[in-house]
Amino acid sequence: MKLRLSIAFLGGVVLTVSLVVFLGAGGTVKSPTGTAPDRYVYYPGTEALATDEIRLIACGTGLPAARRDQAATCWLAELGNGDKFLFDVGTGSMVNVAALMIPYDFLDKVFLTHLHTDHWGDLATLWAGGWTAGRTKPLRVWGPTGATPDMGTAYAIEHFLKAFNWDAKTRNYVLSPKPGQITVKEFDFKAVNAVVYQENGVTIRSLPAIHAGDGPVSFILEYVGLKVVIGGDTFPNKWYIKNAVDTDVAIHEVFLTPPDLVKFYGQSPGQAIGVGTQIHTSPPAFGKVMSTIKPRHAIGYHFFNEQGTHDDILEGVRDVYSGPLSLATDNMVWNITKDSIIERMIVSPDQAWSVNGPNKPPAPPAPGTVPDPISDFIKSGRWQPAEEAQAPMVKEFKKENNLK
């Protein structure tokens, strides 16, 4: 059975949801003390994934300028084999990732489409935040080369760690240094449909993208016969059209219309037409991509999604494409199997804590193995009455935990 629902959410955002063989959302509540069998929402951490299932989560769908309602680009793919992959970690997106309450050890694989801040600005938050909150291993980052070595991912990560040198050296003394490391796998941005990752039944390929400079890519994720294309920033390109066929879910950017870039985003008309139609994808161009590749489900993102912008984008897309479509906002989730693609919204706490994983939190380094970043001069300023005030608490904690 196939049906399409339009759901009006609070705030006026209208979502078009296409469901295949699914008719349960909001299902009947049979007694006043009973439970609701199916809702339009997903509560993180409450549903096991089937082996043949992918859960795709929009953790950031916005723009480089900050907005509380929408972080910049970040997609999380959770697979039925236990693997989880972050595709981009744009500015602000880690608050949405963190609200899923996934142990940080499971969030160690990051694929970057390109090096604009709205696609990797929150790597710092994942890196340092996860380090302080129980990650036991280094982060692994995959990303493209650039036209020259200084425009590539390896250079970016090397200098990211240099920029955060003070952060790393001070944390290294009190935390295990290992989770503060980042391993980089850089791959050729020009390679077409080339395998950049293949482990545990999962294949990830990359495609060149046309966006702002040489280097940006899109990714194709394949698992148990399911295919999800994660489009990075790009003008529609021949590589995506050719390789994103037979796709279960095709994500592709769709940008604000030039008039809306002027009206809402403070751009000049000259800038708006360049940004909106040359290095990004306009709504009719997005529609043309999707009506050509015909995915089971199309997802457009990378705009501030509210009534005014949404309707202008939808109109442009619908002139050209009539298939299943979501215009994404943060905290949308899709459960993808061969039989169905179900879209819901996530309900998660604003005050989430990190959750322990199966691995024990690493111990701090042994004394003398990492240079002490605090000088005797600074240590000499410790105020004794505070030491004395906390002494009983310190003694009790050390005794309870067998600490010297």
The residues binding Zn ion (CB under 5 A) are 116, 118, 233
For residues 261 and 275, the answer to whether their CB atoms sit within 8 Å is yes
Which residue's CB is nearer to Zn ion, number 116 or number 135?
A: 116
Strand partners, 182: 139
Which residue's CB is nearer to Zn ion, number 62 or number 177?
A: 62
Q: Which residues of 5-25 are buried (b: 16+ CB within 10 A; e: fewer)?
A: eeeeeeeebebebbbbebeeb
Residue 364 CA to residue 164 CA, distance in Å, equals 20
User: Please, which residues have CB within 8 angstroms of residue 195's CB and are 6 or more apart in sequence?
Assistant: 203, 204, 205
Least distance from Zn ion to the Cβ atom of residue 187, Å: 18
Least distance from Zn ion to the Cβ atom of residue 298, Å: 18
Which residue's CB is nearer to Zn ion, number 53 or number 88?
A: 88
Which residue's CB is nearer to Zn ion, number 22 or number 255?
A: 255
Least distance from Zn ion to the Cβ atom of residue 54, Å: 23
Strand partners, 298: 250, 325
For residues 200 and 232, the answer to whether their CB atoms sit within 8 Å is no
Residue 257 CA: distances (Å) to CA of 260, 318, 320:
5, 14, 15
Residue 135: name the closest of 309, 358, 287 by CA. 358
Least distance from Zn ion to the Cβ atom of residue 281, Å: 11
Structure tokens at 262: 């002027």
Which residue's CB is nearer to Zn ion, number 83 or number 118?
A: 118
Residue 60: name the closest of 45, 44, 76 by CA. 76
Which residue has the CB atom at the shortest distance from Zn ion?
Answer: 116
Least distance from Zn ion to the Cβ atom of residue 119, Å: 6
Which residue's CB is nearer to Zn ion, number 116 or number 227?
A: 116
Least distance from Zn ion to the Cβ atom of residue 313, Å: 16
SS (H, E, C) 93-146: CHHHHHCCCCCHHHCCEEECCCCCHHHHCCHHHHHHHHHHCCCCCCEEEEEECC
Which residue's CB is nearer to Zn ion, number 233 or number 248?
A: 233
Least distance from Zn ion to the Cβ atom of residue 234, Å: 9
